[in-house]
């Protein structure tokens, strides 16, 4: 089977079922958890305040708990991001999606990016969790995207990720392909932001994505069109 022909049932295992609205209620979070279990999504991705709730709801299901750090701006000190990540992992997060220092990325300051990501990577990996690094592709030139991805690899990240979905733009096939080319075969690539249909997800996977972040996961696996921005 070619990547372009990945079936909807298989697509589910790529999807981080996502609810990152700051106003999300406990009932909405629990609904997303139930959906993730039903459709066998890879994880549920939520803001840090919901990690304990999600971990409890997903216990024994095989669905992972994912949380975000420095989200959505990335403009907090690295030690604060590391503290936030450490707390989320202690609360039960299996995976952490961090936002990089965008000012450093725009300034082509690879050293600052490595330092920023390393601080979080050490905290996450100490808890035996996975780190995904959001480079916010819509705000960067191709050269800056490459530098950010190289910094993530150097810092020991497990994945690079296209977007928060909150700062304009989202995943594109071209960006996913560039990120895959840059990080090589051993680091994951997560496409997120604007992936709303089965065709979108299949295109991202064909370009090299190994994970899809979406709040339209159910529409994707049903072959329908989602409407969410994320």
Q: Could you list the active site residues?
A: 97, 161, 190
DSSP, res 161: E
Backbone angles phi, psi at 195, to 5 degrees: -85, 105
- Which of 220, 68, 72, 205 lies closest to 138, judged by CA? 72
Q: In whole angstroms, what is the distance from residue 220 CA to residue 109 CA?
A: 37
Q: In whole angstroms, what is the distance from residue 50 CA to residue 66 CA?
A: 10
Half-sphere exposure of 121 (CA within 13 A, CB side): 20
Q: In whole angstroms, what is the distance from residue 19 CA to residue 230 CA?
A: 9
91 close to 48: Cβ distance less than 8 angstroms: yes
């Amino acid at each position: 089977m070619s990547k372009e022909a990945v079936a909807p049932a298989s697509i589910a295992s790529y999807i981080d079922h996502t609810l990152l609205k700051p106003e999300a209620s406990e009932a909405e979070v629990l609904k997303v958890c139930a959906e993730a279990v039903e459709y066998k999504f890879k994880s549920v991705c939520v803001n840090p305040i919901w990690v304990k709730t999600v971990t409890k709801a997903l216990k024994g299901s095989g669905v992972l708990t994912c949380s975000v750090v420095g989200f959505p701006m990335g403009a907090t000190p690295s030690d604060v991001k590391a503290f936030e990540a450490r707390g989320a992992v202690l609360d039960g997060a299996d995976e952490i999606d961090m936002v990089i220092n965008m000012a450093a990325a725009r300034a082509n300051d690879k050293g600052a990016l490595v330092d920023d990501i390393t601080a979080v990577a050490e905290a996450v990996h100490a808890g035996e969790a996975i780190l995904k690094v959001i480079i916010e592709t819509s705000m960067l030139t191709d050269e800056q995207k490459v530098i950010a991805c190289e910094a993530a690899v150097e810092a020991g990240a497990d994945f690079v990720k296209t977007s928060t979905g909150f700062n304009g733009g989202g995943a594109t096939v071209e960006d996913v392909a560039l990120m895959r080319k840059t990080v090589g075969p051993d680091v994951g690539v997560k496409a997120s932001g604007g992936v709303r249909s089965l065709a979108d997800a299949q295109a991202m996977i064909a370009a090299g994505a190994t994970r899809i972040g979406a709040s339209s996961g159910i529409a994707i696996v049903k072959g329908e069109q989602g409407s969410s921005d994320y």
